Chains A and B, each alone.
Chain A
């Protein structure tokens, strides 16, 4: 099957609605189809990859660890909107350390998070062939 550039655009907070959880399910399936996958985190979507998520008290499953497994599925391009972080008083230090292992470099761990401003994000989006927005 052909390989296409897929981008999943995550715009919503991880809890409160089911969009983020069900988006991750699509992302993992796309990896099984060996597609060229990128993720974008914009607006409240940046909260999906923040550190120290604790769902005790709201009766929801804490699925934040799933993002840490993305590198194992060869999903290693997570574009995060700088402006969306700033607007929410967050910095990159508030995000999980998401990495992938480079087999061509003795399995060295490399960062998956790529910080981009709005114009850079627009350029990455323009390169995509299939964009699914959640």
Chain B
């Protein structure tokens, strides 16, 4: 089956960020297809490259980044939500006149249309949130 996943909460703050990651791993292990993973609200923080949790804790953003690389996942961060929360890739940072950027490899920034398209194109859309 083809899935689109929506993640609405940030890493460490809320279990839904971890649950979504575990759910995606499970889908892939069972041979399902993930059409897209869409990050919204504080969920955009799952794409930050500047997280430094204590050494004995998981690094959620890196786990997404590695899963994306391994399975060629389409991880999309909502641009409107990301702009509010100060998360940007190299191109967006340049466009906004910032010298630094903070998006980890494997994610891309795009619009809300990508979520709606995911809903249309997938057999199931699953939301992880509060």
* Interface residues, chain A, with chain B CB atoms under 8 Å away: 1-2, 4, 6, 18-19, 22, 25-26, 29-30, 32-33, 35, 129-134
Contact A130 B125, beta carbon cutoff 8 Å: yes
Contact A22 B116, beta carbon cutoff 8 Å: no
| Docked complex Cα distance between A19 and B81 (Å) | 11
* Interface residues, chain B, with chain A CB atoms under 8 Å away: 6, 8, 40-41, 80-81, 84, 111-113, 115-117, 119-120, 125, 127, 129-130
Q: Which residues of chain A are near B111, meaning CB under 8 Å?
A: 29
Contact A1 B80, beta carbon cutoff 8 Å: no
Contact A26 B115, beta carbon cutoff 8 Å: yes
Contact B81 A30, beta carbon cutoff 8 Å: no
User: Which residue of A has the minimal Cβ distance to B130?
Assistant: A19
User: Which residue of B has the minimal Cβ distance to A33?
Assistant: B116
Residue from A19, A35, A131, A133 within 8 A of B116 (CB atoms): A35
